[in-house]
Every structure is written in structure tokens, then in C-alpha cells.
Amino acid sequence: MFETERIVEFGMCDSAGVLFFAKIFELSHSAYEEFILRSDLRNNYFENDELVIPIVSATSNFNKPITLHEVLKINIVVSKIGNSSFQLTTIFLDEVDKAKATVTTTHVFVDKKEFNKTEIPDEFLNLLKKNQQ
């Protein structure tokens, strides 16, 4: 499991001071980027000439309101691994570790030229397995 934190900024909230629903995906993707960048991967998968990893599905569930300037603990767990795809579950927790929201994303490795599915590279697969549920 990967752990990080984010603070809810003013521009992320609606006029009631509650996180605008779509911003949860920005927070999730920001934490995902940190997860990849802080790993020990030799290859840069965000700027790869041969492979890309688009998100093909994204869902969210809110349990409690997320409010302005709240510090969120974020846990990313690899919830599923396939031959060419993987699923991440990102859990947003409050200060007492109660889940406030969950985002689930499915990512698939494809070759950049033809956009055909391709197997997950071994080094990336190892990272996923280390963070599997």
C-alpha cells in the first residue's frame, strides 16, 4: 500500500466549502503520479515512446463530506492485476482514519502506435505486486 497526504484547497471546493465532486479524481490522479514517481521504476512510463497507460474506467463513492482545508490521508492499493491491465483503489481518510471517499480506476497498458493492449512490463508488475491488497 502506498500512503500520502493532500490538503483540500479553496479552488477545489464549491460555495458551501465542500469538495466539488469531480475534484476527487484530480486528487486521486495526483496521488497516483506520486506513487509512480516515488517508486524505484527505471523507466518513465509517463513519457514513454512505446507504451501508454490510459485510464479506461473511473468511479468514486463519497461516504462523508470533504471540506475546505481538511488534510486527507490517501492510501493507494492495487486491487486487481491482469495481463495488460490493473485496478487501483484510492481511499481518502480523515484524521481518525475513517474513509471519506474511495476512487477506483482501471488502467491498461497499450502500445503507443497501434493502441493495442500489451502485457504489463515486469518492473511495473513488480511494483503493482508490492502494493497489492
Annotation says 14 is catalytic: yes
Closest CA to 103 of 119, 125, 79: 79
The set of cell numbers assigned to 104 is 477506483
Catalytic residue among 14, 94, 111, 122: 14
Closest CA to 109 of 88, 82, 71, 77: 82
- What is the C-alpha separation between 126 and 62, in angstroms, rounded? 31
CA atoms within 13 A on the CB side of 74: 27
Q: Among all residues, which ones are annotated catalytic?
A: 14
